[in-house]
Amino acid sequence: MAPETKKRRIIFHIDMNCFYASVEMAYNPKLKGKPVAIAGNPEERKGIIVTSSYEARAKGVKTTMPLWQAKKLCPQLIVMKPNFERYRSASREIFKKMADITPYIQPVSIDEGYMDITNVTNLGSAVEIAESLQKQILDDLDLPCSIGIAPNKFLAKMASDMKKPLGITILRKREIATKLWPLPVSEMYGVGEKTAKKLKALDIHTIEDLANKDVYQLKQVLGINGERLKNRANGIDLSPVDPEAVNEFKSIGSSQTLPQDTTNENEISRLIQVLADNVERRLKRKQAVGRSVQLTIRYHDRTTITRSKKLQFYIDQKKDIVDIAEDLWNTHWNQDPIRLLGITVQDIHDKQGIAEQLDLFTYEKEASKEKLYSAIDDLTSKYGKNPFKQWKQQEVKDHQPRTSFQKDFLDDYKK
């Protein structure tokens, strides 16, 4: 957790600029100054833009835009597949530089995180620390970032968005009326498209409108989140910079957009296998198990449904995930063409923290391993560690990622 202090907090939000594209430019400087986009399945007609350089953005290319549309706007667009291992390595080095300044770091994705430097007294002023960090990341890694400086996480996040690329912005509470309130409420962190529509229905168009809205009306429409958003609009955010937050996860999932809409059941069955394999790998890396499986189906017209099944036992095996996902699919698919499928294991818990609840089947299965367990206990007593468990953890750790991993590796910089 963040340090206990009576001082006014000094929080940084570090936001890498066009991160995936910037990493590719650092790796191949010939790409600099050119319109570059990273896209999933760039060879397919329905590939989606993951991120793009500022040169591409100037032509109208945006994140989540279909690849065909991006190429229409920018015929010179250089499209590259994601290189996740390259991005993971760059992210690790960035967070290590942050950790050299303070241990109070909260990564929130592969390319952004918070720092609490309230008690850092030997490295100069907050602006000097920010300038030094930004320069180090640029000089050593050839990667640009923007930094927001504020008394809390929300204001720091908003500040980092105010000047890109390579910006350093201070946002004090006394400045929110002039710097924050004039912004459209849709640009406020924590306000998504659906929430923005609900706020617009309440005649809330700017962050100032939200800051001055009656909290009761907001809670009627948005529940407790209405009060939270009003507080943030008024510059209030008491949440700490929590280094352990990265270890808190409630679900692990994987989804994939198909290259073309399909009703082909063989293709869908293969995709379920791939998604379940991805989820199993991530569960094992986290040493976690789950007790609910959710299937997401997005149809050709973008109508999306989610259906889930709560289990009486915890699972982490691909076979179990596939069985439940296929059961949900067979029950809820309406025979229309689909464009996306996703599988998520929910109600996640740390495997070590769960006492095994053995039914008759698992009891017999575990009892058959009793001699093996005894042998492992003997080896553990002799050598001090369970050698089988150590090997298994290393095997999981070394497995290469194959899908998006925005939150999969955020503790790498500690290793």
Residue 404 has pLDDT above 60, yes or no: no
Which one is predicted more confidently, 237 or 399?
A: 237
- Which H or E run contains 296? strand 288-299
**pLDDT-derived band at 353, boundaries 50, 70, 90:** low
% of the chain surpassing 90 pLDDT: 63
Residue 211: how many other CB atoms lie within 10 Å: 21
Of residues 381 and 187, more confidently modeled: 187
Q: Are 325 and 342 in contact (CB under 8 A)?
A: no
**Partner residues linked to 109 by β-bridges:** 112
Q: Is 112 a catalytic residue?
A: yes
Q: Name the least confident of 87-91, 215-219, 307-311, 411-415.
A: 411-415
Say yes or no to pLDDT of 13 above 80: yes
Q: What is the pLDDT of residue 250?
A: 75
Residue 87 pLDDT exceeds 50? yes
Domain 247-414: CATH architecture, name and number where available: 2-Layer Sandwich (3.30)
Question: Where in the chain are the domains?
Answer: 1-177, 181-233, 247-414
Per-residue pLDDT at 409: 63
CATH homologous superfamily of 181-233: 5' to 3' exonuclease, C-terminal subdomain (1.10.150.20)
Convert the pLDDT of each residue in 140-163 to its tens digit.
999 999 999 999 999 999 999 999
* Residue 111 among known ligand-binding residues: yes
For 323-365, give the secondary structure using H, E and C.
HHHHHHHHHHCCCCCEEEEEEEEECCEEHHHCCCCCCHHHHHH
Which of 119-123, 272-276, 280-284, 312-316 is the most confident on average? 272-276
78-80 and 36-40 strand pairing: parallel
User: Residue ranges of the alpha helices (H) in 190-264?
Assistant: 193-201, 207-212, 215-222, 224-233
Please tell me whether 15 is known to bind a ligand: yes
pLDDT band at 374 (very low <50, low <70, confident <90, very high): low
Residues 297-313: what's their mean pLDDT?
90
Q: Under CATH, which architecture does the 1-177 domain have?
A: 2-Layer Sandwich (3.30)
252 Cβ contact partners less than 8 Å away, ≥ 6 residues apart: 279, 282, 283, 286, 288, 290, 344, 345, 348
Say if residue 247's pLDDT is above 60: yes
Q: Does 351 or 144 have the greater pLDDT score? A: 144
d(CA 22, CA 217): 43
pTM to 2 decimal places: 0.69
Nearest CA among 160, 61, 73 for reference residue 108:
160
Read off the DSSP letter of residue 388. Answer: H
CA–CA distance, 251 with 48 (Å, rounded to integer): 24
| 26-50 pLDDT per residue, tens | 999 999 999 999 987 666 555 788 8
From 112, 193, 248, 265, active-site residue: 112
What is the mean predicted confidence (pLDDT) over 291-306? 92
| Mean pLDDT value across the chain | 85
Residues 190 and 232: beta-carbon distance below 8 Å: yes
68 with 179: CB under 8 angstroms?
no
| 365-370 CB contacts, 8 Å cutoff, 24+ apart | none
